[in-house]
Amino acid sequence: MSETTTISVAGDASYDILVGRGLLADLGSALPPGARKVLVVHPPTLAAEAAKLRESLMGEREVLLAEIPDAEQGKRIEVAAFCWQVLGQADFTRTDVVVGFGGGAVTDLAGFVAATWLRGIEVVQVPTTVLGMVDAAVGGKTGVNTAEGKNLVGAFWAPRIVLCDLDVLDSLSANERVAGFAEVVKAGFIWAPEILDLIEADPEAAVDPRSPAFRRCIELAIEMKARVVGEDLREAGLREILNYGHTVGHAIEHAERYRWRHGAAISVGMMFAAELSRLAGRLSDEGVQRHRDILTTLGLPTTYRGGAWPQLLATIKRDKKTRGAMLRFIVLDDIARPTVLQAPDESLLFAAYQEIAG
Ligand code: GLY
Protein backbone atom coordinates (compact mmCIF):
# COMPACT_ATOMS: atom_id res chain seq x y z
CA MET A 1 0.00 0.00 0.00
CA SER A 2 1.35 3.50 -0.85
CA GLU A 3 1.75 6.08 1.87
CA THR A 4 -1.45 7.64 3.17
CA THR A 5 -1.83 11.41 3.54
CA THR A 6 -4.03 12.77 6.32
CA ILE A 7 -5.67 16.17 5.87
CA SER A 8 -7.64 17.49 8.82
CA VAL A 9 -10.71 19.69 8.85
CA ALA A 10 -10.75 21.97 11.89
CA GLY A 11 -13.83 23.28 13.67
CA ASP A 12 -16.38 22.01 16.17
CA ALA A 13 -16.88 18.76 14.32
CA SER A 14 -13.31 18.13 13.17
CA TYR A 15 -12.47 15.08 11.06
CA ASP A 16 -9.74 13.63 8.86
CA ILE A 17 -9.62 13.05 5.14
CA LEU A 18 -7.32 10.17 4.19
CA VAL A 19 -5.82 10.09 0.69
CA GLY A 20 -3.99 6.99 -0.48
CA ARG A 21 -4.29 3.60 -2.12
CA GLY A 22 -5.82 0.43 -0.75
CA LEU A 23 -7.85 2.36 1.83
CA LEU A 24 -11.08 0.48 1.10
CA ALA A 25 -9.55 -2.71 2.46
CA ASP A 26 -9.35 -0.99 5.84
CA LEU A 27 -12.84 0.55 5.90
CA GLY A 28 -13.71 -1.45 9.04
CA SER A 29 -11.22 0.48 11.16
CA ALA A 30 -12.75 3.79 10.00
CA LEU A 31 -16.20 2.89 11.33
CA PRO A 32 -17.31 3.90 14.82
CA PRO A 33 -16.13 1.12 17.20
CA GLY A 34 -19.61 0.76 18.69
CA ALA A 35 -21.44 0.40 15.36
CA ARG A 36 -23.18 -2.96 15.07
CA LYS A 37 -25.04 -2.07 11.87
CA VAL A 38 -23.78 -0.44 8.68
CA LEU A 39 -25.77 0.82 5.69
CA VAL A 40 -23.65 1.21 2.54
CA VAL A 41 -25.39 3.57 0.09
CA HIS A 42 -24.11 3.09 -3.47
CA PRO A 43 -25.11 3.57 -7.14
CA PRO A 44 -25.86 0.61 -9.49
CA THR A 45 -22.46 0.94 -11.16
CA LEU A 46 -20.73 0.09 -7.86
CA ALA A 47 -22.95 -2.88 -6.95
CA ALA A 48 -20.13 -5.44 -7.25
CA GLU A 49 -17.67 -3.30 -5.25
CA ALA A 50 -20.34 -2.61 -2.60
CA ALA A 51 -20.95 -6.36 -2.26
CA LYS A 52 -17.20 -6.84 -1.72
CA LEU A 53 -17.20 -4.13 0.94
CA ARG A 54 -20.08 -5.89 2.64
CA GLU A 55 -18.14 -9.16 2.67
CA SER A 56 -15.11 -7.47 4.18
CA LEU A 57 -17.15 -5.78 6.94
CA MET A 58 -19.40 -8.73 7.86
CA GLY A 59 -18.68 -10.76 10.93
CA GLU A 60 -18.60 -8.25 13.71
CA ARG A 61 -21.44 -6.24 12.16
CA GLU A 62 -24.62 -6.51 10.16
CA VAL A 63 -24.07 -4.81 6.79
CA LEU A 64 -26.91 -3.71 4.51
CA LEU A 65 -26.66 -2.29 1.01
CA ALA A 66 -28.93 0.45 -0.39
CA GLU A 67 -28.62 0.75 -4.15
CA ILE A 68 -29.84 4.16 -5.31
CA PRO A 69 -30.19 5.67 -8.80
CA ASP A 70 -27.18 7.28 -10.43
CA ALA A 71 -26.33 10.97 -10.24
CA GLU A 72 -29.04 13.60 -9.57
CA GLN A 73 -31.78 10.93 -9.85
CA GLY A 74 -30.48 9.64 -6.54
CA LYS A 75 -30.85 13.00 -4.80
CA ARG A 76 -34.60 12.84 -4.34
CA ILE A 77 -36.65 12.72 -1.16
CA GLU A 78 -38.20 9.41 -2.30
CA VAL A 79 -34.70 7.91 -2.37
CA ALA A 80 -33.98 9.23 1.13
CA ALA A 81 -37.33 7.73 2.26
CA PHE A 82 -36.28 4.37 0.81
CA CYS A 83 -33.06 4.52 2.87
CA TRP A 84 -34.99 5.55 6.02
CA GLN A 85 -37.21 2.51 5.47
CA VAL A 86 -34.16 0.22 5.26
CA LEU A 87 -32.75 1.77 8.45
CA GLY A 88 -36.10 1.47 10.24
CA GLN A 89 -36.73 -2.13 9.23
CA ALA A 90 -33.22 -3.11 10.38
CA ASP A 91 -33.56 -1.21 13.69
CA PHE A 92 -30.59 1.11 13.19
CA THR A 93 -29.77 2.94 16.43
CA ARG A 94 -27.85 6.12 17.21
CA THR A 95 -24.57 4.20 17.45
CA ASP A 96 -24.87 2.67 13.96
CA VAL A 97 -23.44 4.18 10.79
CA VAL A 98 -24.13 5.04 7.16
CA VAL A 99 -21.40 4.79 4.50
CA GLY A 100 -21.67 6.93 1.36
CA PHE A 101 -19.91 4.98 -1.42
CA GLY A 102 -20.08 6.74 -4.78
CA GLY A 103 -19.86 10.11 -6.50
CA GLY A 104 -20.99 13.49 -5.19
CA ALA A 105 -24.73 12.80 -5.50
CA VAL A 106 -24.40 9.57 -3.50
CA THR A 107 -22.34 11.11 -0.69
CA ASP A 108 -24.78 14.09 -0.55
CA LEU A 109 -27.74 11.70 -0.20
CA ALA A 110 -26.00 9.34 2.24
CA GLY A 111 -24.98 12.32 4.39
CA PHE A 112 -28.55 13.61 4.37
CA VAL A 113 -29.94 10.21 5.41
CA ALA A 114 -27.39 10.04 8.26
CA ALA A 115 -28.11 13.64 9.31
CA THR A 116 -31.83 12.98 9.59
CA TRP A 117 -32.03 9.41 10.95
CA LEU A 118 -32.77 9.60 14.71
CA ARG A 119 -31.76 13.29 14.43
CA GLY A 120 -28.30 12.35 13.28
CA ILE A 121 -26.05 9.28 13.16
CA GLU A 122 -22.48 9.03 11.93
CA VAL A 123 -21.58 8.90 8.26
CA VAL A 124 -18.33 7.74 6.71
CA GLN A 125 -17.81 9.13 3.23
CA VAL A 126 -16.02 7.08 0.58
CA PRO A 127 -16.06 9.19 -2.61
CA THR A 128 -15.29 7.32 -5.82
CA THR A 129 -14.92 10.24 -8.26
CA VAL A 130 -12.47 13.14 -8.51
CA LEU A 131 -15.33 15.57 -7.92
CA GLY A 132 -16.48 13.66 -4.86
CA MET A 133 -12.99 13.58 -3.36
CA VAL A 134 -12.08 17.22 -3.82
CA ASP A 135 -15.51 18.75 -3.30
CA ALA A 136 -18.75 16.96 -2.46
CA ALA A 137 -17.58 14.58 0.27
CA VAL A 138 -15.60 17.26 2.13
CA GLY A 139 -17.36 20.02 4.01
CA GLY A 140 -20.52 18.44 5.36
CA LYS A 141 -23.03 19.77 2.81
CA THR A 142 -25.73 17.12 2.45
CA GLY A 143 -29.15 17.24 0.85
CA VAL A 144 -31.68 16.46 -1.83
CA ASN A 145 -33.12 18.39 -4.76
CA THR A 146 -36.76 19.45 -5.10
CA ALA A 147 -38.80 20.28 -8.19
CA GLU A 148 -37.92 23.94 -7.59
CA GLY A 149 -34.15 23.52 -7.59
CA LYS A 150 -30.97 21.75 -6.56
CA ASN A 151 -29.95 21.27 -2.92
CA LEU A 152 -32.93 23.18 -1.53
CA VAL A 153 -33.42 20.70 1.32
CA GLY A 154 -30.50 19.53 3.39
CA ALA A 155 -28.27 19.89 6.40
CA PHE A 156 -24.67 20.59 7.29
CA TRP A 157 -23.55 17.25 8.69
CA ALA A 158 -19.86 16.55 9.16
CA PRO A 159 -18.66 13.05 8.31
CA ARG A 160 -16.76 10.93 10.83
CA ILE A 161 -13.96 10.47 8.27
CA VAL A 162 -13.51 10.70 4.47
CA LEU A 163 -11.58 7.95 2.69
CA CYS A 164 -10.21 8.93 -0.74
CA ASP A 165 -8.90 5.68 -2.17
CA LEU A 166 -7.15 6.61 -5.42
CA ASP A 167 -7.40 2.98 -6.61
CA VAL A 168 -11.07 3.57 -7.43
CA LEU A 169 -10.19 6.31 -9.93
CA ASP A 170 -8.13 3.98 -12.14
CA SER A 171 -11.27 2.59 -13.76
CA LEU A 172 -12.90 5.97 -14.49
CA SER A 173 -13.02 7.03 -18.15
CA ALA A 174 -10.72 9.88 -19.17
CA ASN A 175 -13.83 12.05 -19.73
CA GLU A 176 -15.07 11.48 -16.21
CA ARG A 177 -11.67 12.20 -14.69
CA VAL A 178 -11.16 15.40 -16.66
CA ALA A 179 -14.68 16.69 -15.92
CA GLY A 180 -14.07 16.12 -12.21
CA PHE A 181 -10.74 17.84 -12.57
CA ALA A 182 -12.46 21.18 -13.26
CA GLU A 183 -12.93 21.57 -9.49
CA VAL A 184 -9.20 20.90 -9.02
CA VAL A 185 -8.42 23.62 -11.56
CA LYS A 186 -10.75 25.93 -9.63
CA ALA A 187 -8.72 25.27 -6.48
CA GLY A 188 -5.64 26.27 -8.48
CA PHE A 189 -7.13 29.58 -9.58
CA ILE A 190 -8.57 30.62 -6.23
CA TRP A 191 -6.02 29.23 -3.78
CA ALA A 192 -3.18 26.93 -4.87
CA PRO A 193 -1.32 28.09 -8.02
CA GLU A 194 0.97 25.06 -7.67
CA ILE A 195 -1.89 23.11 -9.26
CA LEU A 196 -1.75 25.37 -12.31
CA ASP A 197 2.04 24.98 -12.52
CA LEU A 198 1.71 21.18 -12.42
CA ILE A 199 -0.90 21.18 -15.20
CA GLU A 200 1.19 23.52 -17.34
CA ALA A 201 4.32 21.41 -16.79
CA ASP A 202 2.64 18.15 -17.89
CA PRO A 203 -1.11 18.18 -18.54
CA GLU A 204 -1.30 14.45 -19.24
CA ALA A 205 0.41 13.53 -15.98
CA ALA A 206 -1.75 15.98 -14.06
CA VAL A 207 -4.90 14.02 -14.94
CA ASP A 208 -3.37 10.53 -14.76
CA PRO A 209 -4.37 8.94 -11.42
CA ARG A 210 -1.15 6.91 -11.37
CA SER A 211 1.13 9.97 -11.52
CA PRO A 212 2.58 11.82 -8.51
CA ALA A 213 1.46 15.11 -10.14
CA PHE A 214 -2.18 13.97 -10.09
CA ARG A 215 -1.98 12.96 -6.45
CA ARG A 216 -0.34 16.26 -5.52
CA CYS A 217 -3.11 18.19 -7.35
CA ILE A 218 -5.83 16.19 -5.59
CA GLU A 219 -4.21 16.70 -2.20
CA LEU A 220 -3.79 20.44 -2.75
CA ALA A 221 -7.44 20.78 -3.78
CA ILE A 222 -8.57 18.80 -0.71
CA GLU A 223 -6.29 20.87 1.54
CA MET A 224 -7.91 24.02 0.20
CA LYS A 225 -11.41 22.73 0.78
CA ALA A 226 -10.48 21.48 4.25
CA ARG A 227 -9.01 24.86 5.23
CA VAL A 228 -11.99 26.78 3.86
CA VAL A 229 -14.75 24.67 5.42
CA GLY A 230 -12.79 24.36 8.67
CA GLU A 231 -12.96 28.12 8.94
CA ASP A 232 -16.45 28.67 7.55
CA LEU A 233 -18.67 25.58 7.61
CA ARG A 234 -21.95 27.45 7.09
CA GLU A 235 -20.87 29.67 4.20
CA ALA A 236 -21.04 32.88 6.18
CA GLY A 237 -17.94 34.27 4.47
CA LEU A 238 -14.83 32.53 3.19
CA ARG A 239 -16.64 29.44 1.87
CA GLU A 240 -18.29 31.61 -0.75
CA ILE A 241 -15.01 31.62 -2.74
CA LEU A 242 -15.72 28.00 -3.62
CA ASN A 243 -18.47 29.34 -5.87
CA TYR A 244 -15.87 30.63 -8.35
CA GLY A 245 -17.30 29.76 -11.78
CA HIS A 246 -20.42 28.26 -10.24
CA THR A 247 -22.93 31.08 -10.71
CA VAL A 248 -22.89 30.85 -14.50
CA GLY A 249 -21.91 27.16 -14.33
CA HIS A 250 -25.10 26.25 -12.45
CA ALA A 251 -27.20 28.30 -14.88
CA ILE A 252 -25.65 26.35 -17.78
CA GLU A 253 -26.35 23.03 -16.04
CA HIS A 254 -29.97 24.14 -15.61
CA ALA A 255 -30.24 25.30 -19.26
CA GLU A 256 -28.82 21.97 -20.41
CA ARG A 257 -31.24 20.04 -18.15
CA TYR A 258 -28.28 18.53 -16.31
CA ARG A 259 -27.06 16.66 -19.39
CA TRP A 260 -23.76 18.59 -19.26
CA ARG A 261 -21.25 17.32 -16.76
CA HIS A 262 -20.87 19.60 -13.74
CA GLY A 263 -17.17 20.05 -14.49
CA ALA A 264 -17.80 21.16 -18.08
CA ALA A 265 -20.34 23.76 -16.93
CA ILE A 266 -17.99 25.00 -14.21
CA SER A 267 -15.21 25.27 -16.74
CA VAL A 268 -17.26 27.68 -18.87
CA GLY A 269 -18.36 29.41 -15.66
CA MET A 270 -14.73 29.99 -14.64
CA MET A 271 -13.96 31.41 -18.07
CA PHE A 272 -16.89 33.81 -17.61
CA ALA A 273 -15.68 34.73 -14.11
CA ALA A 274 -12.19 35.40 -15.44
CA GLU A 275 -13.51 37.67 -18.21
CA LEU A 276 -15.75 39.44 -15.68
CA SER A 277 -12.73 39.92 -13.40
CA ARG A 278 -10.81 41.50 -16.28
CA LEU A 279 -13.67 43.75 -17.38
CA ALA A 280 -14.12 44.88 -13.77
CA GLY A 281 -10.51 46.08 -13.87
CA ARG A 282 -9.14 43.37 -11.60
CA LEU A 283 -7.54 40.45 -13.43
CA SER A 284 -4.84 40.97 -16.09
CA ASP A 285 -5.13 39.79 -19.71
CA GLU A 286 -2.47 37.19 -18.89
CA GLY A 287 -4.56 35.88 -16.00
CA VAL A 288 -7.55 35.42 -18.31
CA GLN A 289 -5.41 33.77 -20.98
CA ARG A 290 -4.04 31.39 -18.35
CA HIS A 291 -7.61 30.24 -17.68
CA ARG A 292 -8.26 29.69 -21.39
CA ASP A 293 -4.97 27.86 -21.98
CA ILE A 294 -5.25 25.53 -19.00
CA LEU A 295 -8.91 24.63 -19.50
CA THR A 296 -8.41 24.09 -23.24
CA THR A 297 -5.29 21.97 -22.69
CA LEU A 298 -7.33 19.70 -20.44
CA GLY A 299 -10.09 19.42 -23.06
CA LEU A 300 -12.59 21.38 -20.99
CA PRO A 301 -15.01 23.81 -22.73
CA THR A 302 -14.48 27.58 -22.49
CA THR A 303 -17.39 28.84 -24.62
CA TYR A 304 -21.18 28.59 -24.61
CA ARG A 305 -23.77 29.23 -27.28
CA GLY A 306 -24.31 32.83 -28.31
CA GLY A 307 -27.70 34.33 -27.49
CA ALA A 308 -28.21 32.28 -24.33
CA TRP A 309 -27.43 35.12 -21.90
CA PRO A 310 -31.03 36.26 -21.16
CA GLN A 311 -31.98 32.69 -20.19
CA LEU A 312 -28.85 32.24 -18.03
CA LEU A 313 -29.34 35.60 -16.30
CA ALA A 314 -32.97 34.75 -15.53
CA THR A 315 -31.85 31.50 -13.88
CA ILE A 316 -29.13 33.28 -11.91
CA LYS A 317 -31.62 35.89 -10.66
CA ARG A 318 -34.19 33.26 -9.70
CA ASP A 319 -31.54 31.29 -7.82
CA LYS A 320 -30.42 34.39 -5.90
CA LYS A 321 -34.01 35.34 -5.11
CA THR A 322 -34.54 31.89 -3.61
CA ARG A 323 -31.59 32.55 -1.33
CA GLY A 324 -32.65 36.12 -0.53
CA ALA A 325 -29.44 37.65 -1.81
CA MET A 326 -28.41 40.24 -4.40
CA LEU A 327 -26.28 39.19 -7.37
CA ARG A 328 -22.78 38.35 -6.22
CA PHE A 329 -19.97 36.91 -8.30
CA ILE A 330 -16.67 35.54 -7.08
CA VAL A 331 -13.97 37.17 -9.18
CA LEU A 332 -10.17 37.32 -9.01
CA ASP A 333 -7.97 40.32 -8.22
CA ASP A 334 -5.16 38.03 -9.30
CA ILE A 335 -4.50 34.29 -9.39
CA ALA A 336 -5.19 32.98 -5.87
CA ARG A 337 -6.76 36.28 -4.78
CA PRO A 338 -10.54 35.74 -4.91
CA THR A 339 -12.98 38.45 -3.92
CA VAL A 340 -16.70 39.25 -4.21
CA LEU A 341 -18.12 41.49 -6.93
CA GLN A 342 -21.45 42.64 -5.57
CA ALA A 343 -24.38 43.78 -7.72
CA PRO A 344 -22.35 44.27 -10.91
CA ASP A 345 -23.89 46.30 -13.71
CA GLU A 346 -25.83 44.06 -16.09
CA SER A 347 -23.97 45.56 -19.05
CA LEU A 348 -20.70 44.33 -17.52
CA LEU A 349 -22.15 40.83 -17.16
CA PHE A 350 -23.35 40.88 -20.76
CA ALA A 351 -19.94 42.06 -21.97
CA ALA A 352 -18.26 39.19 -20.08
CA TYR A 353 -20.73 36.76 -21.64
CA GLN A 354 -19.95 38.07 -25.12
CA GLU A 355 -16.31 37.13 -24.50
CA ILE A 356 -17.24 33.47 -24.00
CA ALA A 357 -20.11 33.21 -26.49
CA GLY A 358 -19.16 30.64 -29.10
N1 GLY B 1 -19.35 22.83 -3.34
C2 GLY B 1 -19.20 24.05 -2.68
C3 GLY B 1 -19.17 23.95 -1.20
O4 GLY B 1 -18.98 22.88 -0.68
O5 GLY B 1 -19.34 24.93 -0.53
CATH number at residue 90: 3.40.50.1970
Instruction: For residues 130 and 213, state if they share a domain.
Output: no
Terminal alpha carbon distance of the chain: 46
Pick from 169, 193, 213: which residue ends a domain?
Answer: 169
Instruction: For residues 217 and 348, state if they share a domain.
Output: yes
Distance of CA 190 from the midpoint of ligand 1 (Å): 13
**Distance between CA 167 and CA 207 in Å, rounded?**
14
Percent of the chain's residues with pLDDT above 70? 98
Amino acid 324: pLDDT: 66
Segment among 6-15, 172-181, 200-209, 322-331 with least mean pLDDT:
322-331
Is pLDDT at 29 greater than 80 in this prediction?
A: yes
Domain extent at residue 269: 174-356
Average pLDDT over residues 98-122: 98
Provide the 10 A C-beta neighbour count for residue 33.
7
Instruction: For residues 148 and 200, state if they share a domain.
Output: no
**pLDDT band (50, 70, 90) for residue 1:** very low
Tally the domains of the chain: 2
Instruction: For residues 216 and 334, state if they share a domain.
Output: yes
Instruction: For residues 184 and 333, state if they share a domain.
Output: yes
* Residue 127 beta carbon below 6 angstroms from any ligand 1 atom: no
Distance of CA 225 from the midpoint of ligand 1 (Å): 8
* Residue 141 beta carbon below 6 angstroms from any ligand 1 atom: yes
CATH number at residue 300: 1.20.1090.10
Instruction: For residues 79 and 18, state if they share a domain.
Output: yes
- In eight-state DSSP terms, residue 172 is S
Distance of CA 276 from the midpoint of ligand 1 (Å): 21
Pick from 17, 75, 133, 135 the residue to mutate for probing ligand 1's pocket: most ligand atoms within 8 Å of its CB: 135
Instruction: For residues 252 and 327, state if they share a domain.
Output: yes
Instruction: For residues 285 and 198, state if they share a domain.
Output: yes
Is pLDDT at 105 greater than 50 in this prediction?
A: yes
Query: What is the number of alpha carbons within 13 Å of residue 116 lying toward its C-beta?
Result: 20
* Residue 108 beta carbon below 6 angstroms from any ligand 1 atom: no
Amino acid 151: pLDDT: 87
Pick from 151, 169, 187: which residue ends a domain?
Answer: 169
Q: Which residue CA neighbors atom 3 of ligand 1 most closely?
A: 242
* Residue 246 beta carbon below 6 angstroms from any ligand 1 atom: no
Per-residue pLDDT tens for 177-232? 898 999 999 999 999 999 999 999 999 999 999 999 999 999 999 999 999 999 99
Average pLDDT over residues 235-249: 95
Is pLDDT at 291 greater than 90 in this prediction?
A: yes
Instruction: For residues 297 and 351, state if they share a domain.
Output: yes
Amino acid 322: pLDDT: 58
List, in order, residues 6 or more apart from 262 with CB less than 8 Å away: 104, 131, 179, 182, 249, 253
Burial class of residue 342 in the structure, from the number of CB atoms within 10 Å of its CB (0-12 exposed, 13-18 middle, 19+ buried): exposed
Pick from 138, 169, 200: which residue ends a domain?
Answer: 169
pTM: 0.95
